[in-house]
Amino acid sequence: MENSTEVLSFVLRAYGYIGQLKYLYFSIMLLWYLSIYVTNAALITVIFLDKKLHEPMYILLCNLLANAICVSTAMYPLVMSQMFSDTHEVTLPWCLLQMFCLSTCAAIEFCSLAAMAYDRYVAICCPLHYNVMMNTTRVGTITVVIWMYSFVNSMFSFSFVVRLKFCGNVIDKLFCDHHLIVKLACSVSVFHKISDLFFSFSTIVTPFSLILVSYMKILVICLNTSKESQQKAVTTCTPQIVSLSGLFIGFIFYATDLTSNEALLSDRERSNRISDILTIFEICLDNSCPDSDSLSRQMKLHSRSHFQPIISVSKELVLGVRGCGFETQQG
C-alpha cells in the first residue's frame, strides 16, 4: 500500500501558465457567468409574474433555469478565482463542496429533463387526462421530489468520498472533478465503487431511460397522424430535445476528456489547450440549459392563448390511435 499523507488542498494543474491572458480569460468568464445568471433569473421572473405561463411545462422549465444558475454558481466563481492564483490550489473542503454541488446539479438536470419528457408524453398521448395527471400541485410535488432525490443520491455517494485517504493532490482539470479526486485515493473500497455505480444508474441511466420511452411513445403516435399534427407535436417537443441534445454533447466532451491521457501532455501543450478547454466547457454549460431565444419562441407558441390548439391537436392524435389506456368518445 502506498504511503498516505494528510492532503489539505488540491492543485488544479490544467491551468498551467497563462500569463497576462488571465485578465482576458477572467473578463470573458465574468461576463459569461453574469449573462447566464441574469438571463435565467429574468426568465424565471417573467414566468412567475405572468399568470398565463403558470402551466406545468413552465414550472418544470423554471426548475431547469434555477438549476442552471446553481451549476454556474458552483463552477464559475472558483474558476475565476484561480485565474489570479500562482499555485492554483483549492482547499480540500472547498474542492469537495464544489464536487458535491456539481454532482447534485447534474442529477437534477437529468431528472428534470425526464419530468419534462413525461409532461410532453401526457400532453400529446393522453390530452384528455392532462389536467388531472399534470396539475400544478402534482408538478410542484415532482419538482420537490427531483431536488430531494438528487440531493440524497449525491449525499450517499459523497459520504464515501469524504472518508478517502489521498496519496496525491494534483488534478488535471479546471475544477474539482469527482472521478479524478477518487483516482488520487490510496485505495478505494468495493462499497465506494458500488455507490458510484448506483449513483450513475439512479441519476443518469434511469432518467435517460424514461426520456427515451416517453419520446418513443410520442414518435409512435406521430407516425399515425397527419403531417400537420406531426409538425405541431414536434414544435412542442423541440425545446426539450434541444436541451437534452446539448446535455448529451457536453457529456461526450466530458467523457472524452476523462479518457484522454493528460499525462502525455507537457506543461506548454497543456497551457496552449486552456482556451480550447474553457470554450468547450462554456458551450456545454450554455447548451445544458435552454437559451433565451428558444424560450422566447416557446413562450409565444405555448402561452395560454396557444395552449388550447395544442390540446386540440393532441386530441386528434389520440382519436386516430389507440393505446393511451382509455377509450375516446365521439363529438
Q: Cell 368518445 sits at which residue?
A: 329
SS (H, E, C) 80-103: HHHCCCCCCEEEHHHHHHHHHHHH
- Residue 159 counted as domain residue: yes
- Residue 20 counted as domain residue: yes
The whole-model pTM stands at 0.75
Set of cell numbers at residue 61: 422549465
pLDDT of res. 186 = 85
- Residue 246 counted as domain residue: yes
pLDDT of res. 108 = 93
pLDDT of res. 7 = 77
- How far, in Å, CA of 266 to CA of 263, rounded? 8
pLDDT of res. 242 = 75
- Residue 326 counted as domain residue: no
* Per-10-residue mean pLDDT, the chain, length 331: 66 78 86 92 91 86 91 89 83 90 91 90 86 88 94 90 86 83 85 87 89 86 75 73 73 64 45 43 45 45 40 38 35 34
Q: Which domain holds residue 137?
A: 9-320
**Contact (CB, 8 A) for 40 and 289:** yes
- Residue 77 counted as domain residue: yes
Count of structural domains within the chain: 1
- Residue 2 counted as domain residue: no
Assign residue 244 the CATH number of its domain. 1.20.1070.10
- Residue 294 counted as domain residue: yes
pLDDT of res. 254 = 65
**Contact (CB, 8 A) for 164 and 182:** yes
**Contact (CB, 8 A) for 180 and 161:** no
Distances (CA, A) of 140 to 55, 62, 198, 212: 11, 11, 26, 23
pLDDT of res. 86 = 78
Q: Cell 419562441 sits at which residue?
A: 297
- Residue 328 counted as domain residue: no
